[in-house]
Amino acid sequence: MTRLIFLGPPGAGKGTQAKTLADNCNIPHISTGDILRQAMKEQTALGIKAQGYVDRGELVPDLLVQDMVLERLRQPDVNPGWILDGFPRTVNQASFLEELLQDLNQDSKKVVNLEVPDDVVVTRLLERGRKDDTEEVIRRRLEVYRSETAPLIDYYGDRQQLLVVNGNQSLEEVTSELKKVIVS
């Protein structure tokens, strides 16, 4: 049973690695960023509410993303496991998730922190060229990461749930290190 949370700064390669591993394990890759981008594209009520935050590099309010994750983790395809990418991003979201997983009987997860130095992250994001990847928005996303999301490293570290992987290697090297740590 693989239930995995990916932590790491924007541009750490979470999305790519999470997708590869999920395909490998035949389980859903749940990216809150992807769900939000789809909702914005379709202009759903959620998408319309989220748009401004995403465009500015701010976090979408906890309650909105928590509802999305609640809905997603209630679908039957998550029974064999899942990989969460981009959630939780605040301590608040992390405690929500703890309770939700207990309620859904989906506990015993692992958390992987993909470590990548700051300068590498900025270069990678600028190369990626997504709509919210302008230099100003990238800078804001990194600030938000440091103040809101980085505390989760201690949060999960204190709970002895944290695995660390060096994300500053080739795609293949990261994937193979990830495979080793998640079975350990």
Whichever of 29 and 174 has its CB closer to ligand AMP, that residue is 29
- Among 8, 13, 28, 57, indicate the residue that binds ligand AMP (CB under 6 A): 57
Does the footprint of ligand AMP cover residue 36 (CB under 6 A)?
yes
Does the footprint of ligand AMP cover residue 145 (CB under 6 A)?
no
Tell me which residue has its CB nearest to ligand AMP: 33
Does the footprint of ligand AMP cover residue 53 (CB under 6 A)?
yes
Does the footprint of ligand AMP cover residue 32 (CB under 6 A)?
yes
Which tokens is 117 given? 């130095």
Does the footprint of ligand AMP cover residue 86 (CB under 6 A)?
yes
Does the footprint of ligand AMP cover residue 54 (CB under 6 A)?
yes
Residue 180 CA to residue 47 CA, distance in Å, equals 37
Residue 2 CA to residue 26 CA, distance in Å, equals 10
Which tokens is 160 given? 């002895």
Does the footprint of ligand AMP cover residue 17 (CB under 6 A)?
no
Residue with tokens 């990989």: 83
Strands laid side by side in the 2-7 sheet: 29-31, 81-85, 2-7, 110-115, 162-166
> What's the closest the beta carbon of residue 65 comes to ligand AMP, in angstroms?
4
Residue 133 CA to residue 21 CA, distance in Å, equals 25
> What's the closest the beta carbon of residue 74 comes to ligand AMP, in angstroms?
17
Residue 54 CA to residue 52 CA, distance in Å, equals 6
Whichever of 139 and 180 has its CB closer to ligand AMP, that residue is 139
Kindly provide the residue ranges of all beta strands, DSSP E only, lying in the chain, ordered along the sequence. 2-7, 29-31, 81-85, 110-115, 162-166
- Among 87, 96, 155, 156, indicate the residue that binds ligand AMP (CB under 6 A): 87
Residues binding ligand AMP (CB under 6 A):
10, 32-33, 36, 53-54, 57-60, 65, 86-87, 89, 93, 141
